[in-house]
Amino acid sequence: MQTQPKLKISNLHKSFSNGRSTIKVLDDINIEVGDNEFVSLVGASGCGKSTLLSIIAGLQDFEEGEVLVDGASITGPGRDRGVVFQTYTLLPWLTALQNVEFALRETGHDPKEITDVARRHLDLVKLSRFANSFPSQLSGGMKQRVAIARALSYRPKILLMDEPFGALDALTRGQMQELLMQIWQEHRLTVIFVTHDVEEAVYLSDRVFVMGLNPGRIKECIAVPFARPRQTGIQHDRGVLELQARVLKSIREETSRAEFE
């Protein structure tokens, strides 16, 4: 990478202890992600994907290593990083619009602009008509669209997503993938996307990081060379299927190795 990476993680180590024993969860993670790059993290359940993502978000600390955004060490959560989790994290007593406004207020946005900016971002995720609906009145996909609008509203440079479409039905998931690709392309975002769905990882990403298990580490980085914009349906092209198989094999090697240890 010639220019400075948007995100650089060096020699990152993370353990959890439960009083008596300490378990190493992340072992010497080294990753660089470029500006406007879309990367996925895949790997067996428990390999540390969510832990790594929440460290990047600044929501968890770590013992050793460095996490740099634009060359500067992170010190906690920040407006330069937006986060979307799998489960719906909207405040149930606020409308869709108010949920986005709330986040803008929290991040210190100019109060005069808050409603305008919130409306624009609901528009971006095609939810203007539901601005005054409460989360309980929205479908799963709509709730995730509000969560995306909220995460993008304060204009982060990096969008961190932890299995954001994992709880959605296949049709809605496909629509959300299209929407995300569109937003990513138009807004020059850097996306770190955690998924256990290999098809989704290959379809969306420039590169897929396969994580190893026990301890969690980066096992392999697989480049996805298919041209953009990627049409719906390419998931079934031969070259794409072959790459999916390669990613899947890499994940499986790791789970069977861990089982026999």
State the pairing for strand pair 217-223/72-73. Answer: unpaired
Q: Which stretch binds Mg ion (CB under 5 A): 44-52, 87-95, 112-120, 198-206?
A: 44-52
Closer Cβ to Mg ion, 50 or 133, answer by number: 50
The answer to whether 47 contacts ligand ADP (rule: CB under 6 A) is yes
The answer to whether 10 contacts Mg ion (rule: CB under 5 A) is no
The answer to whether 60 contacts Mg ion (rule: CB under 5 A) is no
Q: Which of 49, 143, 173, 230 binds ligand ADP (CB under 6 A)?
A: 49
Tell me how far, at minimum, the Cβ of 22 lies from ligand ADP, in Å. 10
Amino acid at 75: T
**CB neighbour class for 252 (10 Å; exposed up to 12, middle 13-18, buried from 19):** exposed
CA angle 216, 221, 225 (to 5 degrees): 150
The candidate with the shortest Cα–Cα distance to 218, out of 210, 227, 226, is 210
The answer to whether 45 contacts ligand ADP (rule: CB under 6 A) is yes
Closer Cβ to ligand ADP, 48 or 82, answer by number: 48
The answer to whether 50 contacts Mg ion (rule: CB under 5 A) is yes
Closer Cβ to Mg ion, 37 or 162, answer by number: 162
Give the whole-angstrom CA distance, residue 12 versus residue 78.
Answer: 19
Cβ-contact 71, 148 below 8 angstroms: no
Report the site for ligand ADP in 10-29 (rule: CB under 6 A).
Answer: 16, 25
Contacts of 145 (CB under 8 A, 6+ apart): 125, 126, 127, 176, 179
Closer Cβ to ligand ADP, 43 or 164, answer by number: 43
Q: Which residues form the interface with ligand ADP (CB under 6 A)?
A: 16, 25, 43, 45-51
List contacts with Mg ion (CB under 5 A): 50
